[in-house]
Amino acid sequence: MDIEIIALLITVLLAWSGLLIGIIKTLLDRNQAHIDKRFSTLEKANEEEARDWQRIERELLELKADLPMEYVRREDAIRQEVVINAKLDSLAEKIEIWGRRGT
């Protein structure tokens, strides 16, 4: 009788352990599926972000290429204005001298 009780307890213990192992396996599988889904989402977001950074980098390189053609530095503009003013002053002096000679 004692052997039968021990055998029954061992059987119940093994069944209970099997049940617990099954439940744990199911929970781990769900957790793994959830983690896989999150990693997939993160990978997609990472790819989109990488594309955005590539686009930004390309636009920046285009800006660097276009900037010298479309932009005048302040010092260059001042230098050009000084040269134009000097030429206008010289022309005004010549006109004034011609005006004096004519009278």
Convert the pLDDT of each residue in 41-62 to its tens digit: 999 999 999 999 999 999 999 9
Domain boundaries in the chain? 1-71, 73-103
Q: In this structure, what are the phi and psi dihedrals at residue 71, rounded to the nearest 5 degrees?
A: -125, 135
- In Å, how far are 65, 71, 73, 87 from 61, measured between CA atoms? 6, 15, 19, 38
CA–CA dist 86, 78 (Å, integer):
12
pLDDT value at position 103? 61
Look up the pTM and report it: 0.49
pLDDT value at position 67? 84
| 8-state DSSP, 103 | -
pLDDT band at 73 (very low <50, low <70, confident <90, very high): confident
